[in-house]
Amino acid sequence: MSPDALNSLFSLCIGFSLAGALTSGYQALLQQQAGFGLLQDGVAPRSFAAVAFLVFAAPFIIMRNTLRGARIERRRFEFVMMATVLAGFWSMMSGTFFLMTLRAAGLLA
């Protein structure tokens, strides 16, 4: 496996882990599931905070909603695969940003 492929895989795993940790922490603190409905408050400070939260938590929310929809609504395989690719790419990008931030802060070599 090339170093670039290994770096991308690591970023993907970090992104999904970060998304899962953020969503689980939100659920533990507020006793409700995180979702894209957080953006429905209109223009408010809470909505701006929700955007920052959802940027990193979205891959987990997308996969949770997709798998639930595949089981309950019997969604087609193509839709589930497309959502999985989208969540994976989003996770890889958020993981890359998170790792770059740690490197810039000097916490990661």
Joined together, the tokens standing for residue 15 give 């992104």
Q: What percent of the chain has pLDDT over 90?
A: 60
pLDDT digits (tens, 9 = 90+) for 11-62: 999 999 999 999 999 999 999 988 888 888 777 777 788 888 999 999 999 9
Joined together, the tokens standing for residue 82 give 């497309």
Contact predicate 100/59, CB 8 Å: no
Q: What is the CA radius of gyration of the chain?
A: 15
pLDDT surpasses 80 at 95: yes
Q: What is the pLDDT of residue 71?
A: 80
Using the Cα atoms of residue 60, residue 61, residue 66 and residue 72 in order, give the sign of their dihedral. Answer: positive
Q: What percent of the chain has pLDDT over 70?
A: 100
pLDDT surpasses 80 at 109: no
Q: How many residues does the chain have?
A: 109
Give me the residue spans of the domains in the chain: 3-104
Q: What is the largest CA-CA distance in the chain?
A: 47
Q: What is the pTM of this model?
A: 0.85
**For the CA atoms of 29, 35, 41, 42, what is the dihedral angle to 10 degrees?**
130
Q: Quick one: DSSP state of residue 19? A: H
Helix (H, G, I), strand (E, B) or coil at 37: helix
